[in-house]
Amino acid sequence: MRARTVVNACGVWAGTIDRSVRLRPSKGAHVVVDARALLEPRAALITPVLGESARWVGATPTGDGRVIVGVTDDAFDGPIDDEPAVGAAEEDFLLDTLSLALQRSLTGADVLGRYAGFRPLLDTGGGSTADLSRSHSILESPDGTLLTVVGGKLTTYRRMAQDAVDRVVARHGGPRSGTASQPLIGACARGATTGVPARLVRRYGSEAEAVAGLAVHDRALLEPVFAGSPVLGVELLFGILHEGAMDIDDLLDRRVRLGVVPAERRRAEALATDLFGGLAA
């Protein structure tokens, strides 16, 4: 009987699953600022990092009145935290670099939220982590039963998945990955969106009507989660019922991203708690 193949897609923790995998994690920090501090930009702004080659800090508008400023790229040597904090030096670096291109310099008072993560970069020797390749790799364990997918970027996740599936298929047989021709959920232009809030159409595409339809018994869910929020109550319910949110943290921090701004998270917690409680009743 042919041995099974396990795919290790554990990111920065991949080396704890296969000890032969050597990683050099780098930390990437972001800050979130009010779009009004940048005069409501509609396009991204890129500022080169002085004295560095091919490094920059960008300000990317989210369309929800927020701008994400990032990213740092610093070697990290220490315990990998599930929720890494953004340090004062990292925040100052981002704000100071971006401010080189602004008429008014940004300060900590403009920052609404912060978040960070780790890149699972392959250890290929010396040099800074900023110089390490962002190409992904698929590594095979000595006994051939474990395939580890590391490196890459969030924007290349589909190609990473395709290559991993094709490697497994080449070993065990079956159809190759259909990722290249498979549209993302919500990308298909089908169905009418008459009467559906424009935000839902922008965010959920062809699933917008299904999202709005969850408010059929409670039209209040088509209202903002709290006054001034772009997020609608129905988005929280969709996150629970259709996107697999496991708890309030998962829902607010990962599905609707309100958790990125702590003050907004606190205002949304009551509705999130009520929705989880109502479904459990």
Region 273-281 average pLDDT: 84
In this predicted structure, what is the pLDDT of residue 84? 93
The domain ranges of the chain are 6-22+131-181, 26-119, 198-280
Q: Report the range of poorest mean pLDDT among 59-73, 125-139, 206-220.
A: 125-139
Going by C-beta distance under 8 Å and a sequence separation of 6 or more, which residues neighbour residue 147? 5, 6, 7, 8, 138, 139, 140, 141, 164, 167, 168
Please give the Cα distance from 166 to 188 (Å, whole number): 25
Confidence of residue 1 (pLDDT cuts 50, 70, 90): very low
Predicted confidence band of residue 189 (pLDDT cuts 50, 70, 90): low
Using only C-alpha atoms, the chain has a radius of gyration, in whole angstroms, of 21
Q: pLDDT digit string (tens) for 46-92? A: 999 999 888 999 999 998 899 999 999 998 988 899 889 999 999 99
User: Measured between alpha carbons, how far is 277 from 281 in angstroms, rounded to an integer?
Assistant: 6
Q: What is the fold of 26-119?
A: D-Amino Acid Oxidase; Chain A, domain 2 (3.30.9)
What band does 2 get if pLDDT is binned at 50, 70 and 90?
low
Residue from 87, 117, 114, 159 nearest 12 by CA: 117
